[in-house]
Amino acid sequence: MEYLIQYGMFLAKAATIVVALIFVIGAIASAGSRQRRSSKRGEIIVERLNDHLEELRDAVRDQVIDSATLKLENKARAKRDKEQAKAERKRASIEAKEKVKSTPDRYQTKLAGEDEIAKNDRGVRNETTARRKRVYVLGFDGDVAAEEVSSLREEITTVLSIAEPCDEIILKLESPGGMVHAYGLAASQLQRIKEAKIPLTICVDKVAASGGYMMACLADKLIAAPFAIIGSIGVVVQLPNFHKVLKKNDVDYEVISAGEFKRTLSTFGEITDKGRAKVQEDVENIHDIFKQWVKTHRPIVDVSRVATGETWVGMQAKERYLIDELNTSDDVLVAACRDADVFEVQFKFKQTLQDKLGAAIEAGISRATNRVLSADRTKEFQ
């Protein structure tokens, strides 16, 4: 019996050592693979979605197609891939040669007229070095403070460094809106894409309301799922006020400020008619700016009809020209993969241990809350 116990302890120690070695080797390998595309702030993660879809399709094909047919299809695909690779190498070679030839000409543009020569050079390049379209897929899941704009700005900077007008950017957008200044910055990031003349398609599967729609209306093509929530072109300011509670309990609250309207509404101070009127004026001004923004970027929309703060599902939104097409992001990406190389681009900030623990706790609380709400809703329909 004692021998078995000692043998068991030996196996446990050996297993512990093996697991530790695997963990260390994995960590080193993972760090090495990320080092090439990481920075002090974070890392860019790029996934070719064409490969992902092909893997899913192949997994099914291997099970449902007979071996003889599968062999023939694989042979034909290998031949097609070989031809495409050959064409790509030829295109790259021609592009490199054209770049070398055009270099001396560009040095002479200051004397001969830069715009005309650059235009001619682009024409030669387009005729001789046409390449397969590239589609870059970004994501934005917005909260009240639009915190994901930090990642979005890095992703857009990265994509704009390589994308050309023949390419396309698809943004998967989900947001119920939030702070005006935060979503104004997020919308300004999308404006960078417009200024670079890169086609922008925005897909909304669940919700793009208020600040979310402020971003969405920048799209060259705005697509939403049939039951996605769209709209809420309005502005709201709300906060609790405990002034009466403090006064009832003889608690003084003082604010010292300079400027007539430095403080209008506050949580503990007295709200005056003058302060309330000033906030109402500010809200109306922001609403007017919001309406003008929508009118500028989606002139087809009758702003006076939709700028009521209401929301509509995708089918209703299309009737009001708030969106261009009814579809899901899944169908849009699958269709894009047929005719283009599709890359999903994500920027991940480096996280400390505290950040990871906080994210795990937040995710746990969110899941628990969703379970409770789901259970309550289920009871309502029983």
Q: Is residue 290 part of a domain?
A: no
Q: Is residue 223 part of a domain?
A: no
Maximum alpha-carbon separation in the chain: 95
Res 349 pLDDT > 70: yes
Minimum mean pLDDT among 93-102, 158-167, 171-180, 267-276: which range?
93-102
Share of the chain above pLDDT 90, in %: 49
What is the tens place of the pLDDT at every residue in 290-347? 999 999 999 999 999 999 999 999 999 999 999 999 999 999 999 999 999 999 999 9
292 vs 289: CA distance, rounded Å: 5
Sheet holding 207-209: strands in order across?
Answer: 207-209, 229-231, 311-313
In this prediction, residues 38-43 reach a mean pLDDT of 74
Does 262 qualify as catalytic in the annotation?
yes
Range of the domain at 104: 54-131
C-beta separation of 180 from 211 below 8 A: yes
Q: For strand 341-349 and strand 42-48, is the pairing parallel, antiparallel, or unpaired?
A: antiparallel
C-beta separation of 325 from 119 below 8 A: no
Q: Which of 136, 83, 131, 82 is nearest to 337 (CA)?
A: 136
Minimum mean pLDDT among 114-123, 250-259, 339-348: which range?
114-123
Q: Is residue 376 part of a domain?
A: no
- Kindly name the residue from 151, 172, 175, 210 that is annotated as catalytic: 210
C-beta separation of 135 from 341 below 8 A: yes
Tokens at residue 95, please?
């592009």
C-beta separation of 118 from 109 below 8 A: yes
Q: Is residue 325 part of a domain?
A: no
Q: Is residue 236 part of a domain?
A: no
Q: Is residue 312 part of a domain?
A: no
Q: Is residue 79 part of a domain?
A: yes
- Kindly name the residue from 197, 244, 262, 379 that is annotated as catalytic: 262
The helix (H) or strand (E) run that includes residue 112 is helix 109-112
Does 172 qualify as catalytic in the annotation?
no
What rounded mean pLDDT belongs to the chain?
Answer: 81
Number of domains in the chain: 1
340 vs 85: CA distance, rounded Å: 14
Q: Is residue 71 part of a domain?
A: yes
Residues contacting residue 144 through CB under 8 Å, at least 6 positions apart: 177, 178, 179, 182
Tokens at residue 86, please?
């050959």
Residue with the larger pLDDT of the pair 33 and 222: 222
C-beta separation of 152 from 189 below 8 A: yes
Which amino acid belongs to residue 337?
C
The helix (H) or strand (E) run that includes residue 315 is helix 314-319
Tokens at residue 237, please?
């300011």
Res 34 pLDDT > 50: no
Name the 3-class secondary structure at 201. Answer: strand
State how far the alpha carbon of 200 is from the alpha carbons of 2, 196, 218, in Å: 71, 10, 8
